[in-house]
Structure 1
Amino acid sequence: MSARWTWHGGGIEAARRHFGDSDWIDLSTGINPHVWPGTADIPVDWQRLPDPEALTQLEAVAASFFGVDPRHVCAVPGSEIGLRLTGTLVSRPARHIAPSYRTHGEMLAESMPIDREAARRHDGTLILANPNNPDGHAIGADAMQALLDARGPDDWLLVDEAFADVDPAASVATSVDDDARLIVFRSFGKFFGLAGVRLGFVIAPQPIVAALRERLGAWPLSAAAIAIGTAAYADRDWIATTRRRLPAEAAALDALLARQGFRPTGDCPLFRLIEVDDAQALFERLARRAILTRPFADQPRWLRIGLPADADARARLEAALADG
């Protein structure tokens, strides 16, 4: 199978070239199919550099959404960059819970994979995603606090909360403080369905925030990212409606998969993981019906399926799964 689809979600244009041009449904990315609708109404002045005060406002609005002090928030051009930059600041031997994001194993010096059970006994620097990707496993608030309490005095807990916005109950962001060895990463694009904006946040003790700002320089974000992010995080009605909508649609996806003989797993409403004898064959069968999903080179039995946008997309997916 081409590494193009096992390396990361997306790649719809490559799918068109390989499988044929059609009306594709992209279920490979794990982002909200219901895009925040206000982008077209936001004016952006492309002739001026982004205003520093506008960036400060964005961080304040985002901090309110996260439930944290703005002093602990640093906006970055995507959480991927935030993870890698932070890794240079806390570089030390570490462990990362696997399977998860590839970046987690690359951002810290000498980082080694560890499973969830072993992580409970590990007292050194640890990075994990909550909810995790690709299995969608979520660690509850009490268990997350136990992981934080288990860190040694010179070690860090680094938590990638890219998928936490749908249900922030398990978030540890509110525990970030200058005296806590805790750093949290949040992503804008997944919950708001706008991955192309390239916007993320690092929530950290103030010395880490200051060091990040020094590395990012004077204009880390585009004017469009600042404007869109500020408006979206302030849209409380859309946020509340979306937090109710996504779990209901995930339940519909679960029911669809169960009817076709699959046992979906995951606590994140934006995607489900299924295990089959030959995930590559199922990936290709769906792709021939213009439905793109996410296979994994190192897990040949796994297929991740994103949330369909509506009843028509669910019907197409179910028909393709049934036509084996």
Structure 2
Amino acid sequence: MLEHGGKLREAQRLYGGADWIDLSTGINPIGYPAPPLPPDAWHRLPEADPALLDAACAYYGARALLPVAGTQAAIQALPRLRPPSRVTVAAPSYAEHAHHWALHGHSLRQIGFPVLEAAVGSSDVVVVCNPNNPTGELVPPAELLRWAAELGARGGWLVVDEAFGDTAPELSVAAYAAHPGLVVLRSVGKFFGLAGLRSGFVAAEASLLTALADMLGPWAVSGPAQHVALAALRDTAWQQAAQARLARDGARLRGLLAAHGIQAAGTPLFHWWAEAAPEDFHEHMARHAIWVRLFRQAARGIRLGLPGRESDWHRIEHALQEWNKR
């Protein structure tokens, strides 16, 4: 398996301690308060809920969606729905995309954001995270739609992973995903702080959604997950309050890092920078029981999510002060 954030048990095994601050995932630290579940959510086989699809289409602005068990389920399945293709994945990026396209007979290349447009003409599939994970880089929606139209005209796909897109809804292209050539992935886990729910959606043309549903099989999303996701997607008051808080806390984190000589980029949910000594920084923070995301390869650097408690902010500031003293 590839390396990801989380893994607090590993942190505790390596460094000891119990009161850890997990900044390694970029997930909203103050998640949606899941409502009580009806008893039949556990007893019945999960059925497709039209109310969930209606709420998701309204929230994401999409015409049609397929519920999936987190965007990871779609990331693993999509490469199996195409014959061998020329696939370009933006890099650095969420590593699972390139990993799974490489597993299924496709010709894979990974290239940087600045030269991505030039690769569209020689690709059958282009995959991009927007906003990008981990760097926060962005591609304007109009540009994405041009790429999708060019790829779709010859039977290709533009796969846009918008897992971190909730804090920048103006960047979403989900509303256009009914047209051939565009596939959009959305996650309930990041903005809503419900990663354990394993809930997400795919927007695409109807025939592709049907093929993906057939591949994933029946009961792909649990009844409890559907019940909680429906409540979260309908709760506009909570969403508006979360948007305001995340914008404020994201700016606070960027300012805190800048005050300690770190110029970071990202989204309200996470910040990333090319750290000269990422392994040393990761080790230093771990010694303070703060778990950050270390990138060792294409994007050598550090990514920090948001803390959830005021006391956590003070601990992070202290650890940064100690880092600058070394």
Residue 310 of structure 1, CA deviation: 3.3
Counterpart contact for 2:149–2:181, Cα < 8 Å: no
> Which residue of 1 is the match for residue 107 of structure 2?
110
Selected match of 1:119 from 116, 120, 135: 116
Residue 42 of structure 1, CA deviation: 3.1
Residue 84 of structure 1, CA deviation: 1.7
CA distance in 1, matches of 2:274, 2:219: 44
> Which residue of 1 is the match for residue 9 of structure 2?
13
Q: Which amino acid aligns with 1:161?
A: E
> Which residue of 2 is the match for residue 66 of structure 1?
60
Counterpart contact for 1:263–1:275, Cα < 8 Å: no
> Which residue of 2 is the match for residue 319 of structure 1?
318
Residue 300 of structure 1, CA deviation: 7.6
Counterpart contact for 1:144–1:170, Cα < 8 Å: no
> Which residue of 1 is the match for residue 164 of structure 2?
163
Q: Which amino acid aligns with 1:133?
A: N
User: Where does 1:271-282 land on structure 2 (aligned, <5 Å)?
Assistant: 271-282=270-281
CA distance in 1, matches of 2:143, 2:309: 35
Q: Give the count of matched residue pairs.
A: 313
Counterpart contact for 1:76–1:201, Cα < 8 Å: yes
Q: Which amino acid aligns with 2:37?
A: I
> Which residue of 2 is the match for residue 305 of structure 1?
304
User: Where does 1:46-61 land on structure 2 (aligned, <5 Å)?
Assistant: 46-52=42-48, 54=49, 56-61=50-55
User: Where does 1:286-301 land on structure 2 (aligned, <5 Å)?
Assistant: 286-299=285-298, 301=300
Counterpart contact for 1:187–1:199, Cα < 8 Å: yes
Residue 224 of structure 1, CA deviation: 0.7
Selected match of 1:24 from 7, 10, 20: 20
- Confirm or deny that 1:218 pairs with 2:218: yes
- Compute the RMSD of aligned alpha carbons: 1.7
Counterpart contact for 1:280–1:300, Cα < 8 Å: no
Q: Which amino acid aligns with 1:141?
A: P
- Confirm or deny that 1:97 pairs with 2:100: no
CA distance in 1, matches of 2:217, 2:292: 37
> Which residue of 1 is the match for residue 30 of structure 2?
34
Three-state SS of the structure 2 residue aligned to 1:57 is helix
Residue 40 of structure 1, CA deviation: 4.4
Moved more, 158-167 or 43-52: 43-52
CA distance in 1, matches of 2:215, 2:150: 30
Unaligned runs of 5+ residues in structure 1 are none
> Which residue of 1 is the match for residue 38 of structure 2?
43
CA distance in 1, matches of 2:256, 2:279: 20
Moved more, 113-122 or 157-166: 113-122
Q: Which amino acid aligns with 1:203?
A: A
TM-score, structure 2 normalization? 0.91
- Confirm or deny that 1:88 pairs with 2:80: yes
Residue 89 of structure 1, CA deviation: 1.4
Give CA-to-partner distance per residue, 1:148-174, whole Å, 9 cap, x none. 244252211110110001111111111
Moved over 3 A (4+): none
CA distance in 1, matches of 2:306, 2:197: 20
User: Where does 1:235-254 land on structure 2 (aligned, <5 Å)?
Assistant: 235-254=235-254
Counterpart contact for 1:7–1:296, Cα < 8 Å: no
Percentage of identical aligned residues: 35
> Which residue of 2 is the match for residue 285 of structure 1?
284
